[in-house]
């Protein structure tokens, strides 16, 4: 008797093993990708008025590592940081080297002003409003021309 192929049970066992291996490795790969993006991100700080300016490229052939920003958050001691919703899409809170950051890669549809509320939960709960201005090169040059006039 010769066998022509695999039985259905054998195929299901192999597929289930592959799915288990993927479910184990995928979260680790996503964390590694996130860590790699943090390494290439440009670190910016919030000024005294709570404002941040980000310049993005609006070309269609942006690389995945272009225009990634880490906005540094100064938090009070013994407090936890969280972002209050609503947020612009793609904003994430990250911690690196003992500091808290907002990790964000704005796209062309994010050009404009965005208000982000950072909440500090600790002995006392407090909030800080950060205004993020997203520009592209054309808007930045036009704004500089208006200031000259």
Please tell me the pTM assigned to this model: 0.69
Q: Which CATH architecture has domain 43-148?
A: Sandwich (2.60)
Domain range list for the chain: 8-40, 43-148
Backbone phi and psi for residue 146, each to the nearest 5 degrees, phi listed first: -65, -35
Residue 40 has pLDDT above 70, yes or no: yes
Q: How many CB atoms lie within 10 A of CB 27?
A: 9
pLDDT digits (tens, 9 = 90+) for 25-37: 999 888 888 777 7
Q: Is 149 exposed, middle or buried (0-12, 13-18, 19+ CB in 10 A)?
A: exposed
pLDDT tens sequence across 107-148: 888 888 999 999 999 888 889 999 999 888 777 777 777 777
Owner of token pair 């996130």? 34
């Amino acid at each position: 008797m010769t066998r022509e192929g695999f039985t259905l049970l054998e195929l299901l066992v192999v597929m289930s093993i592959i799915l288990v291996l993927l479910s184990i490795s995928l979260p680790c790969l996503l964390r590694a990708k996130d860590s790699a993006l943090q390494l290439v991100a440009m670190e910016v700080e919030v000024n005294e008025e709570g404002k941040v300016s980000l310049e993005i490229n609006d070309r269609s052939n942006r690389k995945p590592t272009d225009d990634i920003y880490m906005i540094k958050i100064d938090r009070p001691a013994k407090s936890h940081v969280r972002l209050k919703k609503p947020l612009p899409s793609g904003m994430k809170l990250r911690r690196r080297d003992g500091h808290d950051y907002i990790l964000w890669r704005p796209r062309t549809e994010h050009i404009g002003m965005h208000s982000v509320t950072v909440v500090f939960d600790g002995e006392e709960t407090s909030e800080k409003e950060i205004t993020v201005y997203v520009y592209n090169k054309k808007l930045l040059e036009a704004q500089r021309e208006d200031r000259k006039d």
